[in-house]
Amino acid sequence: MILNVFISHSGYASRRKAADLVKISRVKVNGKIVTDCNYKIQPGDEVAAEGNLLSVNKFVYIMFNKPLGVTTTVKDRFAKQTVIDYLPPHLRMVYPVGRLDKNSQGLLILTNDGNFCYHISHPKFNIEKEYVLDVKGNVTVRDLRRAKKGIIDNGELLRLKRVSLKWIKKGVSRLGVITCEGRKRQLRRIFTSLGFKVIYLGRVRIANLHLANLKPGKFRILNKGTIKKMLEA
């Protein structure tokens, strides 16, 4: 890991601020001033910024309600807004857990804990993700069965763990969907293949963590107890 990335992952400063600290000789590695942001930190190195010893072992877990139109990434020069833009500088050492496309909204977790990210994201752990979808058209029981059974799209088997019809109003069907997989645009691809256009997609739950009344664009830091319960769910 290079020096300014190490500093940002420690939570002491944003990556840009970390680079500034390095350039103005405010950072030491093993007691010596280092002014090269690309200096590679080795296991066992001691890194200090402005006299403060840093560590990347401090994990942060953030629950975020991603608004529509926001890109789920750390950095994208083509994106008007990313999820990281909603966080204060001292919390921008985190990364999104899983996917939530630009035209979808809802619950997203951000963290710098790689093991937690792997556990929540990988299908083998069967972590449930729950969504609410609105699609154009009248969805039938047969459509629900086909969606649960799965469809083949571009050589991938896409399927749902559970799907239910909540209501139909004025030619729009509201669905409740649960899946344990996170393939790219999975839900949109399934219902498009079944002949329905998704006009709203929101994630409301991951494992036992519910979005509840957290407003779009707002975040909440999760404590270790909550994270432990998620992993045990």
Q: How far is CA 108 from the centre of its chain?
A: 5
Query: Would you say the C-alpha torsion 79, 81, 83, 89 has a positive or negative sign?
Result: positive
Q: Which residues sit opposite 180 in a β-bridge?
A: none
pLDDT of 158 above 80: yes
Q: Which residues of 198-207 are buried (b: 16+ CB within 10 A; e: fewer)?
A: beebbbbbbb
Rounded alpha-carbon distances, angstroms, from residue 158 to 130, 136, 137, 193: 16, 20, 21, 10
Are 38 and 88 in contact by the 8 Å Cβ rule? The answer is no
Of 20, 45, 101, 153, the active-site residue reads 101
The first and second tokens of residue 191, run together, are: 């219902």
Nearest to 112 by CA among 62, 65, 73: 62
Q: Using one digit for the tens of pLDDT, what is the confidence trace for 61-100?
A: 999 999 999 999 887 777 789 999 999 887 887 889 988 9
Q: What is the pLDDT of residues 90-118, one digit of tens each?
A: 788 788 998 899 999 999 999 988 778 88
Cα 181 versus chain centre, distance: 14
State yes or no: is 143 an active-site residue: no
Q: Quote the CA–CA distance of 101 and 27 in Å, as a whole number.
A: 38
Residues 86, 15: Cα–Cα separation, whole Å: 15
pTM for the whole thing? 0.77
DSSP bridge pairs for 221: 62
